[in-house]
Amino acid sequence: MPTETFDAIVIGLGAHGSAAAAALARRELRVLGLDRFARGQTMGSSGGHSRMIRLAYFEDPAYVPLVRESWSAWRGLEDETGLPILTQTGGIYAGPAGSEIVDGSVRSARAHGIRHEVVDGRELARRWPVFAPVDDLVAVVDEEAGMIDADAAIAAHLVVAERAGSVLRFGARAVDWRPAAGGGFEVETDDGSVAGSSYLVIAAGPWMSSFVPDLGLPLAIEREPVAWFEPVVDPSSVALGRLPVWVMGTPEDGFFYGFPFDAEHGLKVSHHHWGVLTDAETIDREFRPADEARIRAFIRRRMPGADGSLRTSTVCMYTNTPDLRFVIDRHPAAAGVAYASACSGHGFKFAPVVGEVLADLVVGGSTARSIDAFRADRFRQEPVAG
């Protein structure tokens, strides 16, 4: 029997669970939010100082309206809480001529009227001397991109939830959820307590598959080391206001990305999709010499102005789907339960919209937003005829 009852329980208070808690609380629902780790932790996928918000989305123009809605929502959240979250920096998306990142960025920018410019590798290095002047390189400069302070973004959503009366428990691991005898759901935590609710949102990040194995989601956890370096160019030339956020596709080693210099941490550079699969419980969280070597090899070829000492580092996780799109859906066997695995290394920026969609799905059973591309049934194999 539940010892307490709520309108909604949210399991996982990372980017998407915190946004869902805020969205539900804004609808005047009494919310219980649970997270297995401490407040402000960096054990899942959401911790840290910076996440990109790119407008000219090279992956698919269909993301652009969601980015725009998210951008407005982040600004609204700043107004609501007084916390600074979003900084417009512009964005650079570079790669060989004709590559996915270049052509995809231009396609999205044209389709959605995003102010942009296309420059060659020499012009890129002239404007931002931190980069090497590479001949076979084209860069799309997106004026509207920016960066999100990830810690502040989550803190702001939690403030909204708490101001509306939500109860948030950290260090509280949900160990089971089940339909309750009289309707609704029960969630049991590792201290043995049981809470009841009408609605349940599950946003467990890299722990999604182990917490809801019956969904059979084809999620893969990828180890993602991140490093910050001392620049060897004038720091003012790579500072906020000068260097945009950037992503560079290389023929030899995939995508790298980075952010403007910040005096506290350095110049952030990392590899997008390291290709090392792991498990959320057993991941190697040490930043290894081989991790630094891989990033430094890129820096020496493409970004020599970042080739200073290693200032700090961390190891994070991506939760990837096979098509690198998100999964946001209702539980097929339990009306009132919705879940999101919105990562694949690019989901943070969408959190305010994902939170609203999750609230729509549990409360009303559907959402006015177009989420067909994110439904879980796309992973179901069609039987092969004959």
Ligand X SMILES: Cc1cc2nc3c(=O)[nH]c(=O)nc-3n(C[C@H](O)[C@H](O)[C@H](O)COP(=O)(O)OP(=O)(O)OC[C@H]3O[C@@H](n4cnc5c(N)ncnc54)[C@H](O)[C@@H]3O)c2cc1C
Residue whose CB is less far from ligand X, 14 or 249:
14
Give the torsion sign (CA, 191, 173, 157, 38): positive
Quote the least distance from Cβ 361 to ligand X, whole Å: 15
Nearer to ligand X among residue 17 and residue 249 (C-beta)? 17
Mention every residue, 6+ apart, whose C-beta is less than 8 A from residue 376.
215, 217, 327, 329, 332
Is residue 160 within 8 Å of 74, Cβ to Cβ? Answer: no
Least distance in angstroms from the C-beta of 313 to ligand X = 11
CB distance 316 to 37 below 8 Å: no
Q: What share of the chain is helix, strand, coil (3-state, %, to 5)?
A: 30, 30, 40
Beta-strand relationship, 91-95 and 4-11: unpaired
Binding site residues, ligand X, CB under 6 A = 11-17, 34-37, 43-46, 51-52, 173-174, 203-207, 211, 224, 226, 316-318, 342-343, 345-349
25 is written with which tokens?
């609380």
Query: Least distance in Å: CB of 190 to ligand X?
Result: 8
Of residues 173 and 378, the one with the C-beta less far from ligand X: 173
Tokens coding 23: 């969205």
Instruction: Closer to ligand X by CB, 45 or 81: give it.
Output: 45
Q: Of 125 and 298, which has the nearer Cβ to ligand X?
A: 298
User: From the CB of 50, what's the least distance to ligand X, in Å?
Assistant: 7
DSSP state of 83: -
Helix ranges (DSSP H) in 136-222: 150-163, 208-211
Q: In the Cβ-directed half-sphere of 4, how many Cα atoms lie within 13 Å? A: 16
Nearest distance, CB of residue 222 and ligand X, angstroms: 9
Q: How far is the CB of 120 from ligand X (least distance, A)?
A: 25
- CB nearer ligand X, residue 125 or residue 338: 338
